[in-house]
Each structure stands twice: as structure tokens, then as C-alpha cells.
Structure 1
Amino acid sequence: MSIVIPARNTAHSLGPVLDALAAQDTNGSVETIVVDDASEDATAEIAAAHPAVDTLIRLRTQSGAAAARNAGTALASADTVVYLDGDMVLAPHVLADIATRSRPDAVLLGFRHNAPYQPGRDGVAKVPGGMPDLAADHRVTWRSQGGKQMYTGITLDRPTTGSPLNDTDDFQKLGHGTTYLDWDLPRVVVTALMAAPREKVVDVGGFDPVFGLVGWGMEDTHLGAALISAGCLVVPLRQCVGFHLDPPDAEAQWQTKLAGWPSTLAYYRRLLDGPVPHSRTTAFRDAAKQLLAESEVINR
């Protein structure tokens, strides 16, 4: 497998993430590619010094998580690419579980348990003890206060708690345009921890980098829609859960992200009105080649 980690200003969490990758219980071939998205902290230095990192890509200008993942995907050598955020700490069994279940037509979904920032040595976030809780992921336990128009366009008239994973039989009932409360099948595709066949990702053109320019989020949802249209199954792996280490300024970051989210949602909906992406390998490679030519690539 090839692990692709987009990272921007993740000095608080990247060390524990890489430590967890180094401790994975697998004998298979694994390469780790970190793409530093023009960080303003010690992210690149941490990645450069860590023995778990095989390739470090340093983007000279901030380009967004979508472009960063594309750069990593372009250099990935394995058939399966695992997209992992720079703040996701995995239990030792996770990569082996993904490897066992990977196939050329499957998008494998892991889950995340948000952990509030607790400073440790040198300000690095402490990793909670024990195992992360599957139910902590919003795709497993989802809450809405109601009264606002949601992602799918519905408005819930009262506070609601739903269980998307359980109530849709591991997302199987979300196929063919079906929705559950505010959820449809592409929306459950979250790249905090997700694996996909590299050939399929490249054929649909990878992640659309425009999302990183107009706001926050939705590039993984759009990739999910593209891979589903390419015939991929969406398969949740309940046992694959990681701790998501919040940054020190988590609340402020969320406010900034959510302020730009309507713009990315509008762009996503415009893309859905266009043609289904396919046979975009050449365009993907050309764009990635240009991005990498403007970046620093360090191979071990």
C-alpha cells in the first residue's frame, strides 16, 4: 500500500501519526508519502526526520488538501492508496485490515474519534489511552439541532439524532440516490482514513483542486461520487478507527472552515450537473507533473 498524508501546520500531531504508522502490524510492502502544503510550522521538518516517511513533498505555495493528495497519488507506487490525515493516529492492526480487504473496485472507509487537544511534550498532542470509539464518528452517531437547511437541501424541524451506519445496513441502503436524513452515499466518503484503488482514482482525475480554492471540504465527497460512478463499492470497515487529534485552536479553525463550506457545497452541486468524470488519466498526470515540478521532492 501507499499511504498519502496531506499535511499543513500539523506539527502538533504529525509525530504521533508517523509513530503509529511505524508500529503497524503488517509484513506487506508499505510506503509513506507526506505532502507538506506550505506549512508555516515544523511540519516538514518532522516529516523529513521521521524514519517512517519514504517520500516528502514540499509544496512551495499553499494549494489545498486536494492538490496535496493528488501530488502524493502521482508518486504512489502501490495499487492501493490509503489517504490519511496528518492528525489521525491508527491502532496497530488498521493497515493489515485494509490490506486484507482491498480490491480493485472497493472504496474502504475507516472512522475517526475526535480527541480534544491535550498538550504534551513540546506542545505535541497527547494520544488518548485505550481504543478509539467507533460511535464517536459522525457517520455512526449524527446529531442535528434542526431549523437549518442541510447538505441534501432538507430542513429538520427538531433536534435529531441518527445512526447512518447502522440504520442503512453499513451504508448499503444509500445506493442509487437514496438518502437517510441528511446523508447520501458520496457524503460518507471521508478521506481522514480511506483506501481506494489508485488506478480508479487516477482515471476519474483524482481530487478536484478547485475545492481548496473556493473554501473547505467536499473534495472527498466529490471523489466518492466519481468513484461510485466508476463502479466502485463503498465498504465501511468498523474495526478501522483512529484518534483524530484536534489542534490547539480547533474551535477557531472550525469556524473558518464552516464559513467557507457553503461555497464548496455549491461548487460540488455544479459538478454533479456536469458529465461523469472518466478517462482523465492524462489530464491528472499533466497537472500533477506541473505541481511536482514546482515542489521539492525528497526521497529516501
Structure 2
Amino acid sequence: MTDNSVPLQEELLRHGNNHSSSTHAWEALADGISWHQPTPSDCWLASARTISVVIPAHQVGYSLPTVLDALDAQHHQYEFEVIVVDDASTDDTAQVAARHRVVDRLVRLPQRMGAATARNVGTALAKGQTVLYLDGDMVIPPHVITDVASRATDTSVLVGFRHNLRYEVHSQEPAILGRIPNLAADHRVVWRPPPNTVLPYSGITLPEPLDGRPLDDTHDFIDLGYGQSYYDWDLPRMVVTALVAVPRAAVLDVGGFDAEFGRLGWGMEDTYLGACLIAAGLLVIPLRQVVGFHLDPPDAAEQWQHKLAGWPRTLARYRELLDLPAPRGRTQDFIATLNTLLTHCEVRP
């Protein structure tokens, strides 16, 4: 149980991440399917959890049609919910979502508020036991919803991975849904940091080139429990909301995403949510088969530089929050705050 007087940073030191018993127990029930194997559509475990897909969307008209098509092509045999939250886009993002048959609910924020707030809005509206956060530029293979639904629990954070595709590649590839993304393309799997450069998260400098393997070398993140690190990586940093599934009740209990990150810049709101969920006793478990294509925008280089410019501000905010007590018992306040915000939003249907 979390002590509300203990700083979040200290609380993280109390929690391990040995999820072996959970994954082995699942495999014992799964009729020969391994934890990291794509799940057949007829797997009896697929009805274990209800799923809400929450997509924060800002200026993703170039990618959202393919993202939604991929959701429509899921082989999951049970109903799942898709909620798109348009963060005041000025392109055709809202129109794409409004006319796609897989979208159950479209919300338009009254002004740009950031991905953290957009995800909070979607979480407040979600009906599923598990929320799958999926970015508006992430295209997932057809087995992913079933993989998540069959493995999700009240005490697990299921982490997926991403394979970046340049705009010049995916914009000229109409058969993108038929391609298979590469797990090794994610930096949490294969990581080659520059030597003699201060690494942004830990502040350390590596004197020699490193051919890092964070996922393998930490035994599927098990060795990152109790506040351990792998060079510039720790367990909260492995929680990336481009593609991650979490129990909705746990997100509500910790108060959702900290909206201040969206006002400061890019990044770290998912790391902070990960830290809060770990402090609440959840295990962070990777799914190696859950890999999506991240479709880069036409101006990817320019956007990346803009994001990096805001990194120091969001990192400083994260450090401040680590010194505060781990949040718990915030469900009522979260719902009340989001219900107030929703009165100013356009919600369809």
C-alpha cells in the first residue's frame, strides 16, 4: 500500500517488476500460445477484458485514416470502443474521425490543450475495463486488440512498441496494412546512443559507442524494478503512450495524466503516469508481438526539433512531481474535472 507521505521517487524504490509468475500463469491457460505470440481470434481468453481505444489527435489528417482502417481490420471477435479526441486541429482530423465507421465517439476540445488532456478526456468517457492509448499516427496489426484483451488485468501495464516510417515511405505505400513492423526499430529494443554526449534523462555520458539492448538486457523490464536503471532508461520511461494498455480504474485512481505537461511542451506525461502506476503496485509487462508503424508527418524533422526544445521544461516538471507524494484516491476529482471540461467540448455522437 502506498504511503501518502512518501515522495513518488522513494515509493518507486519499494516496487519490483518481476512479472514472470503473471506471464507464466497466462501461458498455462492459453493452450500453447506464448506470451509474446500473436493471439488467434478464436482464443477463449479474448473475452477476458473490455477494451476502449483512446486516440489523442492533433493535425493527423495525413495518418488517421490508415490508423482507423487498421482498427477496423482487427480480428477481435468482441466489441471494442474507439474514442478520438481532436485537440483543436485545423486540418481534416475531425472530419476523418467523424466519417469513419470504427469511431464510436468523437470529441473536439475547444482549444489546443495537449495530448495529456486529450487522453484524460477519452479516459473519462471510456467504458472499457482496459484503455488502450494509441496515437493518431500509430498503425497496429490485426491481432493487437485480441492480444491486449486476452492478457490485460487490473494490475498490469501492457507495453507495445513502434517502428517509425518516413512520410516519403508510407505516403507512397498503399499496402501499409499488410506490412509487418520490426520490433528492433524501437529504441527500447535496440539503442545506440551517441558517445561523449550528455544523455538527456539521466545526465550521464558514455565514453564509447554502445550497442544497447534495453528490452533483452533487462529481461523484459524485470530488472528495472526497485528503481534500477539501464543507462538512460528506467521503468517509467518504458511506458510510452504511443501504444500502451492500462486498467482504466488505476488511471482514474492516480488522477490521470498531468495536464501541465501539455502546456509546457512535449513528452514526459506518459513517463509520469507510468511512475504513478508503478508506485500503485502495477507491473509493466512488454508484449513483443504488439508493434505498430508510427507514420511520420511530412515535416517530421521540424516537429522533432520543436519537441526537443520543450524537453527541458517537461523533464523539470517530471522531476518536481517525483518529489511529491505518489497520487492516489483521485477518481472523484478526476471525473468532476473532466465532466466540467466536457461541457465546453463538442461531443459526437
Q: Which runs of 4+ in 1 moved over 6 A?
A: 123-126
1:277 maps to which of 312, 323, 327: 327
**1:67 Cα offset (Å):** 0.1
* Amino acid of the structure 1 residue aligned with 2:73: A
2:272 maps to 1:228: no
**Superposition map of 1:239-250 within 5 A:** 239-250=289-300
**1:125 Cα offset (Å):** 8.2
1:37 maps to which of 60, 79, 87: 87
8 Å CA contact 1:125–1:245 kept in 2: the answer is no
**1:164 Cα offset (Å):** 0.4
* Amino acid of the structure 1 residue aligned with 2:215: L
2:76 corresponds to which residue?
26
8 Å CA contact 1:115–1:128 kept in 2: the answer is no
Q: Relative to 1, partners in 2 of residues 1:126 and 1:157: Cα closer, same or farther, differing over 3 Å?
A: farther
2:186 maps to 1:132: no
* Amino acid of the structure 1 residue aligned with 2:180: M
1:256 maps to which of 300, 303, 306: 306
**1:128 Cα offset (Å):** 7.2
Count of residue correspondences: 298
Give secondary structure in 2 for the equivalent of 1:211.
Answer: helix
**1:149 Cα offset (Å):** 3.8
1:142 corresponds to which residue?
191
Q: Relative to 1, partners in 2 of residues 1:113 and 1:224: Cα closer, same or farther, differing over 3 Å?
A: same
How far, CA to CA, are the matches of 2:170 and 2:179 in structure 1?
17
**Superposition map of 1:212-223 within 5 A:** 212-223=262-273
8 Å CA contact 2:266–2:308 kept in 1: the answer is yes
The CA deviation string for residues 218-265 of structure 1, in whole angstroms up to 9 with x for no partner, is 000000000001110100000000000000000000000000001100
| CA RMSD across the alignment | 1.5
How far, CA to CA, are the matches of 1:5 and 1:164 in structure 2?
27
* Amino acid of the structure 2 residue aligned with 1:139: R
**1:282 Cα offset (Å):** 1.6
1:268 maps to which of 297, 314, 318: 318
**1:115 Cα offset (Å):** 0.4
The CA deviation string for residues 96-147 of structure 1, in whole angstroms up to 9 with x for no partner, is 01111000100000100000003778x9987375200000001001121132
**Which structure: larger Rg?**
2
TM-score (norm: length of structure 2)? 0.83
* Amino acid of the structure 2 residue aligned with 1:26: H
Q: Where in structure 1 are there 5+ consecutive unaligned residues?
A: none
Once the two structures are aligned, what percentage of the paired residues are identical? 58
8 Å CA contact 2:170–2:295 kept in 1: the answer is no
* Amino acid of the structure 2 residue aligned with 1:220: D
8 Å CA contact 1:127–1:245 kept in 2: the answer is no
Q: Where in structure 2 are there 5+ consecutive unaligned residues?
A: 1-50
* Amino acid of the structure 2 residue aligned with 1:65: A
TM-score (norm: length of structure 1)? 0.96
8 Å CA contact 2:141–2:177 kept in 1: the answer is no
8 Å CA contact 1:85–1:191 kept in 2: the answer is yes
How far, CA to CA, are the matches of 2:53 and 2:208 in structure 1?
41
**Superposition map of 1:2-151 within 5 A:** 2-118=52-168, 127=176, 130-146=179-195, 147-151=197-201
Q: Which has the higher strand share?
A: 1
**1:8 Cα offset (Å):** 0.1
**1:28 Cα offset (Å):** 1.5
* Amino acid of the structure 2 residue aligned with 1:36: D
* Amino acid of the structure 1 residue aligned with 2:118: A
**1:287 Cα offset (Å):** 1.7
